[in-house]
Amino acid sequence: MKKTIVSDTTTLQNSQSAEENVATKRIKSIDRFRGFCVFCMLIFQFLKNFPSLGILSRLAEHSLDKGIVILPGMTLADIIAPAFIFAIGLTFTLSFTKWQKLYGTKHAIIHYAERALSIIGLGTFLDMCNKVIDSMDGYKLNAFDYTVLAFSIIAIVGLILRLLALIPSWKKKLSIPAEHIFYLALSCLGIMNIIITTIDFFAIANDFNAFKYNYWVTLQGIGFAILVAFPFVKSKWWVKLIGAMTIFVAFTVFHQIDNNKAWLDVIVHGGTIGGFGWGAMLIFDMMIADFYFMKRKDIAFTLSAVFCALGVFLTQWLGVINLGSCSPTFILVGVGLSGVIFFLFDIVDKYITWKFEFLVWWGKNPIIMFLVEFFVIGVYTSFMPESALAGASWALAAIQGIIAVVLLTAIAYLLARKKKSISL
């Protein structure tokens, strides 16, 4: 009996040690997979502006008429956001555990709740920038737009102070207040966005043509999914399964009754209500990640394949795989297909040594790459004449695409080489 207790204790210590090693050491297949997701999100969105590129311009299209259809109701572009959610699910528990051990449970909870709200806030800020650009073409900013603009200015001030804090002589004076200003401003933007997008949904439910504030895109959906999944970050795999299934079933019932499906489809990714579906997706992803890090990759891969097959099978009763409303079948296929893609990366990583690690570079700094793409490529596509984009020949379009890929990859490489990163 005594021998058994010692053996179990040793096993537990070894398991904890292995977990700590994984938490502190980057896994290149995960970085590469995350980089693949970010690269596709940003570069495909740029190539979308050039119809002359044919199939390349269709890669980022979510429309069934224009995009590349791979499953009933689902285009190739539809899998990128769920794949990025899967990448978050792979490291969420380990990242939280590492922070918890360094700073304590209370600080870790505050940090990750603030992090999720800040991601929503960052998406809000980017949407506000788009509205300011649109105002040059006649769009009238409303009271909420101006409120978002005010908090965005505060966030920019905090960001500038954070950058100045990189100067050694200013670090002690600026780092702490700059961080508080930056996070609090973005978190406030996140909370405001959740409220206004929920108002949008109920306005649509009362009147399909009602005015909408339209402050919800991919980053907001990702941040809200993290908030929904956060309570399960330290739970056992079976608790994650029960929690995810409970949210999934409740959301499925809501999605399928009355006209809810159509209302959800009006707001990008279903808005805050659809965010619960994305949250269920992330919890399922975290459960699969538990098996992956328990060295049961066979179970993790099998679960991914089962989720994908089940999602396709249930389309005959629950409807097509619809990104717009975050349909139940989309949740299942999003989990399963993303998992299968990741395990292909993981398998290839075992047998091939990569000398050109451009996807790893992209995967190390997704937040910075989002910002760089928005301000560099976003401004470029906003102010370039129509003839240089939609009217460009395939040769001119290809040149612009190559320049964009090389430029952004060079930035990702320099950041990775200098080991510079900004995380929310």
Write the pLDDT tens digit of every residue in 54-105. Answer: 888 899 899 999 999 999 999 999 999 999 999 999 999 999 999 999 999 9
Residues 397, 388: Cα–Cα separation, whole Å: 8
Cα→Cα distances 395→46, 56, 387, Å: 15, 13, 13
For residue 11, what pLDDT is reported?
35
The rounded distance, in Å, linking the Cα atoms of 267 and 276 is 14
Residue 175: per-residue pLDDT: 65
| pLDDT of residue 134 exceeding 60 | yes
Whether residue 315 has pLDDT greater than 60:
yes
The first and second tokens of residue 267, run together, are: 């707001």
Q: Considering the chain, what is the average pLDDT of its residues?
A: 88
Q: Which residues contact 94 (CB under 8 A, 6 or more apart)?
A: 19, 22, 23, 293
pLDDT at position 278 is 98
* Residue 149: exposure state from Cβ atoms within 10 A (0-12, 13-18, ≥19): middle
How confident is residue 6, by pLDDT bands cut at 50, 70 and 90?
Answer: very low
Angstrom distance (rounded) from CA 91 to CA 110:
18
What value, to the nearest 5°, has the Cα angle with vertex 194 and ends 143 and 365?
105
